[in-house]
Amino acid sequence: MPEGILCNKTPIKTDEQLKLTLSDSRGTKYYAEMLELEVDSDALWALVQKTLKSRTKTWLEICAHCGLCAESCFLYQVNGRTPKQVPSYKIQSTLGQIVKKKGKVTNEFMRHCMDVAWSQCTCCNRCGMYCPHGIDMGVMFSYLRGLLYSQGFVPWELKIGSGMHRVYRAQMDVTTEDWVETCEWMAEETEEEWPGLEIPVDKQDADIMYTCNAREPKHYPEDVAEAAILFHVAGENWTVPSEGWEQTSLSMFAGDWECCKDNVQNVYDAIERLNPKRAIGTECGHAHRATVIEGPYWTGRPDGLPPRPYIHYVEWLAEALRTGKLKIDPAKRIKEPVTLQDSCNYVRNQGLKDITREIISYIVEPGFFVEMSPNKEHNYCCGGGGGFNGIGMYREQRNVALRKKMDQILDTGCKLVIAPCHNCWDAIRDLEEEYEIGIRWSFLKPLVIGMLDVPEHMLPKDEE
């Protein structure tokens, strides 16, 4: 079985292999090796037999090729409505073929599958809502990605991303020490303006255990500080775990099932260890999907639920505003046209559509909120979901994909977009960079902090 040094069927499990793969600029050598990568048909077919369950089988069988899913797909819409972008065609011509040919497919075909799975589908699951049979191509593409990953046909950045999760249990090289140090640092930096603020690490039996996205400690620790400020002002009894703090899952984007399970288990172990009343994740969509929606199944939890109630940041924020734990100064509410990006991963996937509007009702002056069209569970993907944002090889396709969101935003006439999801936030940032439509974008945390009506005793003592 000829396999490459970088491009092979073995996941990245060591720091050495990780650095070696990273040093291959833009994956040049990696993709060159992929051209020679042999498909192990027996292993592929064995894996299909073991993992292709009745639902997916049925879906592949009963698709009537009616084409009703076509218009539901934003990639179909922005790519000149070519039949090649119809969801049912995309999945039938890739996964369908692998099943039909019992895994006897060529290297070239596998590379084609990789292109389709990672650059023609963001697993946004919108098609599933429009299929008369309820066939969800997004779910099937996630499955196909797993098959491709097992054979080593995965974009370079995602091989690395998944390797990061395996080596560091985080999507970026942030160690436990780095993380704890960052929490201390942020507490130190923030407590001057917020006397009494703490970022408690590994506190037992707190009301809340908070988890986040490794990019926050790595590049934007302000986000961790902002979360701390809001918990502090709300008077929450909260903590972060020293281990199991990273909620994201590039392994889910990569199709590295084993790693998905390991990472979620790591978060669940932290919950069991610290015994909080509930867990709350940061403003991230796929991290929520991985740990809250898919995670219980990956880890084989019989009740299909995480070990404790695990909610998305927007759920906590809405609750804090509703119950008055956080008070908004009406004078500081947003008084300009503002729109909201519904993240597929917790809006379409979990139905958290009204809760974000509730937040809007507290922080936006009535009359200034403009809905995108379509919205809520019918909203389109930002254009960068499912790992699309980070893959250099598919940059051009991704930039085309951003056009749908751009048009939606332009139609609202708003210059401010609230995007409570890392991937959406990134995509909208890139959209502005690429198309320069003159918009600003923000997570909820900094917006809310800017509007708080803070109780007198929480403010620093007056200085002259």
Is the CB of 77 or the CB of 442 nearer to other proteins?
442
Is the CB of 223 or the CB of 294 nearer to other proteins?
223
HEC letters along 133-193: CCCCHHHHHHHHHHHHHHCCCCCHHHHHHHHHHHHHCCCCCCCHHHHHHHHHHHHHHHCCC
Q: How far is CA 221 from CA 110, 135, 239, 376, 438, in A?
A: 39, 40, 16, 30, 26
- The verdict on whether omega for the bond into residue 276 sits within 30 degrees of 0, i.e. cis, is no
Contact between 191 and 262 (Cβ < 8 Å): no
Smallest separation, CB 160 to other proteins (Å): 7
Is the CB of 86 or the CB of 212 nearer to other proteins?
212
Smallest separation, CB 158 to other proteins (Å): 9
Is the CB of 90 or the CB of 422 nearer to other proteins?
422
Smallest separation, CB 51 to other proteins (Å): 26
Contact between 420 and 443 (Cβ < 8 Å): yes
Amino acid at 351: G
Using DSSP, how many helices (H) and how many strands (E) does the chain show? 23, 7
Smallest separation, CB 16 to other proteins (Å): 15
Q: H or E element: which one contains 362?
A: helix 353-363
Collapsed DSSP state (helix, strand, coil) of residue 246: strand
Is the CB of 94 or the CB of 171 nearer to other proteins?
171
Those residues whose C-beta lies under 8 Å from the C-beta of residue 400, and which sit 6 or more positions away, are: 78, 79
Smallest separation, CB 104 to other proteins (Å): 34
Interacting residues toward other proteins by CB under 8 A = 22-23, 25-26, 157, 160-161, 171-172, 185, 189, 193, 215, 218-222, 250, 384, 389-392, 395, 422-423, 426, 429-430, 440-442, 463-464
Q: What are phi and psi of 384, to 5 degrees?
A: -125, 15
Residue 12 is classified by DSSP as: P
Amino acid at 255: G
Both tokens assigned to 172: 């970026």
Smallest separation, CB 124 to other proteins (Å): 16
Smallest separation, CB 115 to other proteins (Å): 17
Contact between 423 and 286 (Cβ < 8 Å): yes
Is the CB of 222 or the CB of 243 nearer to other proteins?
222
Smallest separation, CB 441 to other proteins (Å): 7
Is the CB of 151 or the CB of 213 nearer to other proteins?
213
Contact between 358 and 340 (Cβ < 8 Å): no
Is the CB of 222 or the CB of 262 nearer to other proteins?
222
- List residues bridging with 238 in a β-sheet: 208
Smallest separation, CB 278 to other proteins (Å): 28
Helices 54-62 and 137-150 pack at an angle, to 10 degrees, of 120
C-alpha closest to that of 267 among 277, 250, 280, 284: 280
Is the CB of 330 or the CB of 392 nearer to other proteins?
392
